[in-house]
Each structure stands twice: as C-alpha cells, then as structure tokens.
Structure 1
C-alpha cells in the first residue's frame, strides 16, 4: 500500500522532496528530545540519506514508513513507521510530529490508521511502542489509540546526556479485533 488516507491526513511514502521539511521540523530541539534517534542539531543534508535508508529498509521488508501530510495544507507534518520483525510477526510503532502540530490529535489519527494497516494488511500478531516517561504526549497517543500499558524500563536509554525511563505499550491482533473500533479504522483507510 503506497498510501493511507484518514480524515485529516495522508500517510504516504517518503519522497526525496521531504528532506528539507524533515530537517526543519525534526531539527527543533523540542521534537528531537522526545525521540531516541533524531540527532540534535540535525545535520544539514542528512535527511536525504535518512529517506534513502528508509527506502532500502522498505525493500528488505524491515520497515513500513510513511510521511504524515496534513490534507488541508498539503504540508509534511511528521513521520510514522512500523519497524518489522517478520519471524515474530510484530511491529514496533514509532512516530514524531512537528511541534506546531502537537495537541491536535494528528498522532492518534495516524497511529489508529497504522494499527489497522499493520494488523489487516501486514497480518502482524503484535504491535508495540515505547516512549520516554517524560513525554506524556506520546504515551497518551498510544492509550487513545487502544494500546495497553505493559511496563516501564527504568533508566533504560541514554539521550542527550541523560538517562531516561521508557514506558512500553502494546496491542495483540486478537485484542485489536475484539475491542478496537474497526469501523472507524476502516473508514480512515482508503487504497
């Protein structure tokens, strides 16, 4: 599937033309500090390499990565992906959104769509995600999207010179099928 459409978003494959916008939005310290892997400061020109690596990983079926595009403005506002483990039929959900778009429900909308994609299209058995405990915006998105709290790993990672606790959330396909509002998820998807 090349793209997923929701009420307000278009989730599409990353394009080379997204590089400058990625550098601008991900280069914001407030965005970078909420993630484990976004460098800060964001090196100029490195977003092009990142996009190319994503394309290579997609070819190897180890990731399903999507640009989040706000339909109304047609602007790239963030990134969402599933890091895939085929032998275990699981995906690790990861996402970030530009600071100007925080608190508007875009994360929850995108996560719900990617859950539907992961369970229905990719036939995953489990989807999980982690966030810094200091980033309640991220783990609240997980809760709103239907993932369940699974535990906290104390001082599990070092980021920008500090150790951070990671909170983990997850959802099994059988839980998704029983409790998730499938009609809403299906309404959000379009081929």
Structure 2
C-alpha cells in the first residue's frame, strides 16, 4: 500500500470530483461540502487548499490517485494552542485502514508545523466509522454535545475527540 499526503495540484480536480461526489460522504461533513460535488467545487477547494502558508489541507493519495482529503486547522485567540482536524476518503476505500494512517501522519505534520498542544476532531454520534478511525489513531473521547449538529433536517449529537502533543510516539 502506497499512501502519500501531499499538497493538492490543479490536475487533481478530476479524481477529487470523482470521489467527492458521493452522498454517503457529504452526509457526514459540513454544508460547505456540497452534494452533488461538481468540477467548480473541486477547483475552488484546490484553490483554498493551496492558499494557506503553511499548508493546512493535504490530498490523500493512494497508489498515485487522490482519494480523499485531510486537514489540520489551528484556531485563534484563547484557542490558539488547539487545531481541528477533518478528513474524508472515497467510499470504496472505507475500512481498509488508510485513514488512521493518514491521521497519524497529519498529526506529525500538525504538531511539527504549528505551535499547538492539542488536535481535536468532531463527528456525529451516527458516524461510527470516523469514531473508530480516531480511536485507532490514538484520539481520546473528550465530550458529547447533545443535538448541536443540524444536517438535512435532523439533529445529531456531536462527539469530540482529542489528541495531545505528548502522545506522539
């Protein structure tokens, strides 16, 4: 298995759109991630991903093809020692152990690049696969907030998982 996290390139738009245009992915992400996911969305996302210095968003590349995305975003003000991580991967690659590896690699990048002590990730109570990814990567459950997510006309509980810099091996 050849897994690489790298900056997006403009020619990644085809595979990005191919895999991102999936209701089963968008239903677990914020409304900024549209469905259907079109070429204009992919182009805008790649521009966004390349606009940060240092990079906050990387392409998940498996066997030479972009199959997902992962990011670590440092917060500001009194939260500046924390960063939020988000990710998604093509449905056909779910359950293959790729995302926990990508998360671990992005943790190293995040702690090495940003002046942070904690990385956290949020997921809905229904996204069991993402919860498992975070646990496999060493994240610890921190909190459950009742009915804080409103998506597609329904409320969901928000689960927060954290990873501290001292946990890096």
The residue number in structure 2 matching 1:162 is 154
Runs of 4+ in structure 1 over 3 Å off: none
Unaligned runs of 5+ in 1: 1-6, 183-191
Give runs of aligned pairs for residues 27-176 of structure 1, distance below 5 A: 27-36=21-30, 37-56=32-51, 58-59=52-53, 61=54, 64-70=56-62, 73-85=63-75, 87=77, 88-174=80-166, 176=167
Q: Distance in 1 between matches of 2:41 and 2:113?
A: 31
1:23 aligns with 2:13: no
Q: CA RMSD in A?
A: 1.7
Q: Distance in 1 between matches of 2:150 and 2:133?
A: 23
Q: Flag structure 2 segments of 5+ consecutive residues without an equivalent.
A: none
Moved more, 17-26 or 106-115: 17-26
Superposed, 1:2-13 pairs within 5 Å as: 8-13=2-7
Q: Distance in 2 between matches of 1:156 and 1:118?
A: 27
How many Å apart are 1:162 and its aligned residue?
Answer: 1.8
Distance 1:43 1:154 in 2: 33
Look up the SS of the partner of 1:45 in the other structure.
helix
How far apart in 2 are the matches of 1:76 and 1:173?
28
Q: Deviations over 1:54-109 (max 9, x none)?
A: 222x13x5x61110001xx3111100000112551221000000001000001100
Number of residues of Structure 1 aligned to a counterpart in Structure 2: 166
Q: Given the two structures, how large is their TM-score scaled by the length of structure 2?
A: 0.90
